[in-house]
Amino acid sequence: QVQLVESGGGLVQAGESLRLSCVGSIVMFRPYVMGWYRQVAGKQRELVASLSSDGPRNVADSVKGRATISGDTARTTVSLQLDSMKPDDTGVYYCHFNADGLESWGQGTQVTVSS
């Protein structure tokens, strides 16, 4: 299993920016997808943005234009920057790794946006 360690998160004011980072154990196989999901209490976990080791990116409509996902596929790292944050961005953010069914989740980091 790929180990994922998250950093970032915390309390921010609406309109501010936040950066989340995730470092995974080094993997030699390709392709894989790393990304960030978030979950609000009582709701399903939803994709925020993801990045494939082959290059394609996927960004949810809810954060399109405000989210930038980047990573180093050689180091199995992925970062997410969210700009112009809104109270609706509040939730627990999880780093995710998936390679042809080999799936791992980070422990989650709380992000709270105050209005």
Walk along the chain (115 residues) in steps of 10 and give the mean pLDDT of each run.
93 97 88 95 94 92 96 91 96 95 94 96
Can you tell me the distance from the alpha carbon of 105 to that of 78, in angstroms, rounded to the nearest whole number? 13
Q: What is the pLDDT of residue 41?
A: 85
Q: Which of 15, 1, 4, 3 is nearest to 109 (CA)?
A: 4
111, 89 Cβ separation under 8 angstroms: yes
